[in-house]
Structure 1
Amino acid sequence: MTRTQPAGSAAAALSDNPAGSLSDSTAQTVATARQHALGDLPRRTAQRVGDKLAIRDGDVTLTFAELEAHVERTASALVAAGFVKGGRLALLSHNCWQFAVLSFAAARAGLVLVPINFMLGADEIAFILDHSGASGLVAEDTLVAVADAAIAAAANPQVRTKQVIDLAGTGGTPSGWEDLSGWLQHEGAPVDVAVGDDDPVRMMFTSGTESRPKGALLSSRALMWQYVSCVIDGSMSADDVELHTLPLYHCAQLDCFLGVDVYLGASSIILPGPDPATVLRTIAEHQVTKFFAPPTVWISLLRHPDFDTTDLSSLRKGYYGASAMPVEVLRELAERLPDVALWNFYGQTEMSPVATILGPEEQLPFAGSAGRPVLNVETRVVDDTDQPVPAGVVGEIVHRSPHATLGYYRDEAKTAEAFRGGWFHSGDLGYLDETGHLFVVDRKKDMIKTGGENVASREVEEALYTHPDVAEVAVFGVSHPRWVEAVAAVVVPRVGAMLTAEDLIAHARTVLAGYKAPKYVVLAEELPKNPSGKILKRELRAAHADLAAGEA
């Protein structure tokens, strides 16, 4: 039962002005002294460890003092360019040190940074620019053409400031654009923007299941509490030397790892992507101690011919996410990297993004689990009426936490639906075991309903991974005239293996009930993935939609 206090009551006064009768100016002074926002982190870390390596990106190295100087100059340039608190700045770029600077500089100036997937087409980017209302856009030089096309395609173009990052060294500044180096070298007044705990500092566009993505607003409070959860439950420290290869436009790499490293004062090495040979060489060359990647990238490292001849002795901490690690791959990692402790991070953009973590000592005993709620998250599993279900019963995974998004920008209906009952609804199906460990069964959209029975694609994938000649697999449902949906799998064999679809179907039937075994198996050289290494099942569904054509 919710109780409300009448206006002017003691409780209301205490809520509005906890210290009692303060003037607005005094209250603001107190708030300024208490501020702990995302944009403050580089300055505070520089004061502690200014001479320490913060970022290495190719030939560029920045100490924390140098990183802070770039952040402050860029924030000052943003204010001088006319950006005001709450304004939106879009960023379209591959990984680079400038990305890190912009993420903190925008937050210091009180802006909302809008990172954009660099694989999107002009029309998709135009939607994000329109929906976010971005008045500024920073793009790397190789993406200027698609950025210009997006601005031209926007229904209500508002971009008035365009900055280019010279990554490819193409020379010259494109017409209508300015070189970002001007912001990075700007000499102006110190930035003094009050940023409250729940002021939005990031708008992350989710891939989702809808035709158009949703803009999830994240606040400093959400990100900072998420950083604390990562530090504690992910055993992160200032001594880490971390390799960042997954896209920084995605909140997993940006906010579970890079942001946390700046917060702690750990050193970061940035690569443009997760090329296996480059990853292995970089770990050895720079004595990397910590690395995050989805299971697909870990598998690519294990399969690379240089894996066993590369000195990986410095590596101590490994993290994975986006999907559960196949049990057979977990066993292989434990055997071939015995000194590397592993963590599974589970969550989503709207949780900033981590919600649960499976720790090193739990990897094999609780293989396939997403772990338990992190320090600052409360998690439960509910039925279709949003009531908690007993241990072992599958339902929707929901959370309560300061990590959670402020809501979806300009979409009250979807926000209300996601937060119904006072819990954030993840859209994932799972169950809690008797020990409180969470097991994610599937996304609601990935649950296959065949002949009236539910089949979790994850369970079928695990069964196929037990075949010694399987390198990668993705399972999904396809339309079927009799069963409504049928289980289908696309499998990438190990190099040199002689596999047939019949072999794999027969193997699946030895470990699964007949209705769960795939009816169709397609062999492929690779699986489609996004830049974060997540398998794109929607592309597989589209490409193989006619597998059951002609059947009765």
Structure 2
Amino acid sequence: MRLAADEPARSSPPPGSGGGAAGAASPAGDESLRRAMDRALRNTIGDALRRAARKHRDRIALHFGDRRWTYAELDAAATRLARWLKGRGLEPGDRVAALGRNSDTYVLLFLACARAGFVHVPINFMLTGRELLYIVNQSGSRALFFDAQLEPAVAEVRDQAVAEIYGTMESLLDAVRTPSAGSGTATAAVGDETDGGAFDGVREDQVVQLLYTSGTTAAPKGAMMTHRALMAEYLSCIVELDIQRHDRCLHALPLYHSAQMHVFLMPQLLVGATGWILSAPVPEVCLPLIARERITSMFAPPTVWINFLRHPDFDRHDLSSLKKLYYGASIMPVPVLQELRRRLPGVEVYNCYGQSEIAPLATVLRPEEHDARPASAGRPVLHVETRVVNPEMRDVPPGQLGEIVHRSPQLGGLLGQARGDGGGLPRRLVPLGGPGLHGRRGLPLRGGPHQGRDQHRRRPGGQPGGGGGPLHPPRRGRWR
């Protein structure tokens, strides 16, 4: 049995051939076998993409503007871009900052970083000046790729930034794209394109993304998401949000945010769904696209759904294909929820709650639970344990306020802060709570003080109320 496609099987030496004592193996052979086993058992984001491409090879994965990518093309493009970035001098563990609006190249950059072992650093494209410089420098990003239209913001900080490699998102497309004659797709020399073993050293416990999250005080902090944490979260999303191969998904919220990227786009890619990427959730663009392409699922915060409902074109388009409506990031007013369900008959609604540090999905209120508790944040997802506790980490009785805590393999640590003013270049990635956090039980975290939003009333049946906010280590007590 061959353990890996790029690791040929070896036969035992014949008796008397000088191959050593019977049953003994050479150190080189043992090491080769160990590497083959590690490679065969590994489950990184790059591995998951490769599996999806082999299963759904010619199925369309993503649309963006007039470009579309099959699963095979997307996988090959990720490999080609990973090689191109490596050729620019990047090494495993290097941070790669991404400053751009939603696009296919934005997704490709993340996939390439995951495949090659680089650390993707998404940055809000609205940031400029000191805020942009802080994230680039605090993350230690060696490279910064940006939309051409955002070049003035980059030029403003370039002399003070630690980044050594710069480029536009458009240049990334040039690095991977070869036009398919008459196909309308954007390809990356699909065929037997593989990484040739060049990226076999990528491990599940390696950080794949630094996701900056802000509280109400101090500077943003980078949540360190590993392949293992994100893969655990992707499975939670697939199970709890009923994500399926036949879904036709609209991705209009910013991909620099963990919700659109890691709760929807990536899990949907792993099951073979088809997605349409838009730069913004503009009703004039989204509503006709939903009708024309028969979109079946979309995520947006309540404010966006309210904008859709109030738009004069809402009832002019056939939106009957929309079957799964996801919302989160803030509390949905119950009257708005009722209006959505009335004006979109047959749609199923899901309330998604979480925090950046948990990748980010923590709880879901499923469609069948909305009638009984429409204002609830739902129940913990597959890979999350959730409690509502007092300051001593003891469960509060139903109906009382407490702090919400999670324990999960989805959790990521926080990037170690430099001493002094906090703006220095960190030299290593320090998990919250010490080494060994990732991939095991995780560490219980609590919501910090944020105008009362992190207090939750425990509901009968274990459902927390709504809320949100930054996460911090518990002040005292342990998870029991």
Instruction: Name the TM-score class by shorter chain.
Output: 0.7 to 0.9
Using the alignment, how far apart are the partners of 2:348 and 2:201 within structure 1? 40
1:243 equivalent in alignment to 2:264: no
1:426 equivalent in alignment to 2:447: yes
> 1:290, 1:316 within 8 Å by CA — same for their partners in 2?
yes
Deviation at 1:194, TM superposition (A): 2.1
1:180 paired residue among 162, 165, 172: 172
1:162 equivalent in alignment to 2:166: yes
Name stretches of at least 5 consecutive residues in structure 1 with no aligned partner.
1-20, 167-178, 446-552
Using the alignment, how far apart are the partners of 1:255 and 1:64 within structure 2? 18
Using the alignment, how far apart are the partners of 1:152 and 1:288 within structure 2? 45
1:408 equivalent in alignment to 2:400: no
Normalising by structure 2, we get a TM-score of: 0.81
Query: Identity over the aligned pairs, expressed in percent?
Result: 40
CA offset digits 1:241-299 (Å, max 9, x no partner): 00000000001000001111111110010000011111101101111000000000000
Deviation at 1:385, TM superposition (A): 2.3
Residue 50 of structure 1 is matched in structure 2 by 57
SS at match of 2:250: strand
> 1:112, 1:203 within 8 Å by CA — same for their partners in 2?
yes
Residue 140 of structure 1 is matched in structure 2 by 147
1:435 equivalent in alignment to 2:427: no
SS at match of 2:364: strand
SS at match of 1:210: coil
Deviation at 1:31, TM superposition (A): 1.2
SS at match of 1:438: coil
Stretch moving more, 85-94 or 361-370 = 361-370
Name stretches of at least 5 consecutive residues in structure 2 with no aligned partner.
1-26, 178-187, 419-428, 449-453, 472-480
SS at match of 1:440: coil
Using the alignment, how far apart are the partners of 1:413 and 1:395 within structure 2? 29
Deviation at 1:106, TM superposition (A): 0.4
1:297 paired residue among 283, 295, 304: 304
Normalising by structure 1, we get a TM-score of: 0.71
> 1:345, 1:370 within 8 Å by CA — same for their partners in 2?
yes
Residue 241 of structure 2 is matched in structure 1 by 234
Letter in 2 for 1:430: H
Residue 389 of structure 1 is matched in structure 2 by 396
2:340 paired residue among 325, 333, 349: 333
Using the alignment, how far apart are the partners of 2:43 and 2:137 within structure 1? 31
Residue 309 of structure 1 is matched in structure 2 by 316
Using the alignment, how far apart are the partners of 1:210 and 1:258 within structure 2? 31
Letter in 1 for 2:432: T
CA offset digits 1:328-385 (Å, max 9, x no partner): 1111111111211000000011010000000001113111100000011000011122
> 1:348, 1:354 within 8 Å by CA — same for their partners in 2?
yes
Structure 2 CA distance for partners of 1:442 and 1:203, relative to 1, 3 Å: closer
Using the alignment, how far apart are the partners of 1:360 and 1:222 within structure 2? 26
Using the alignment, how far apart are the partners of 1:390 and 1:26 within structure 2? 54
Using the alignment, how far apart are the partners of 2:95 and 2:66 within structure 1? 31
Letter in 2 for 1:181: L
> 1:197, 1:221 within 8 Å by CA — same for their partners in 2?
yes
Residue 93 of structure 1 is matched in structure 2 by 100
Letter in 1 for 2:365: L
Structure 2 CA distance for partners of 1:400 and 1:24, relative to 1, 3 Å: farther
Using the alignment, how far apart are the partners of 1:111 and 1:101 within structure 2? 13
Using the alignment, how far apart are the partners of 1:143 and 1:38 within structure 2? 29
Stretch moving more, 39-48 or 225-234 = 39-48
Using the alignment, how far apart are the partners of 1:39 and 1:444 within structure 2? 29
Letter in 2 for 1:355: A
Using the alignment, how far apart are the partners of 1:117 and 1:215 within structure 2? 13
CA offset digits 1:5-26 (Å, max 9, x no partner): xxxxxxxxxxxxxxxx995554
> 1:276, 1:304 within 8 Å by CA — same for their partners in 2?
yes
Structure 2 CA distance for partners of 1:28 and 1:407, relative to 1, 3 Å: farther
Residue 175 of structure 1 is matched in structure 2 by none
RMSD: 2.4
> 1:41, 1:262 within 8 Å by CA — same for their partners in 2?
no
> 1:404, 1:424 within 8 Å by CA — same for their partners in 2?
no
Using the alignment, how far apart are the partners of 2:468 and 2:89 within structure 1? 46
Stretch moving more, 200-209 or 39-48 = 39-48
Deviation at 1:401, TM superposition (A): 0.4
CA offset digits 1:420-454 (Å, max 9, x no partner): x9412233221321211111356599xxxxxxxxx
> 2:250, 2:277 within 8 Å by CA — same for their partners in 1?
yes
Residue 271 of structure 2 is matched in structure 1 by 264
Residue 345 of structure 1 is matched in structure 2 by 352
Number of equivalenced pairs: 409
Using the alignment, how far apart are the partners of 1:443 and 1:256 within structure 2? 18
> 1:37, 1:196 within 8 Å by CA — same for their partners in 2?
yes
Using the alignment, how far apart are the partners of 2:277 and 2:239 within structure 1? 23
Using the alignment, how far apart are the partners of 1:339 and 1:360 within structure 2? 11
Deviation at 1:32, TM superposition (A): 1.2
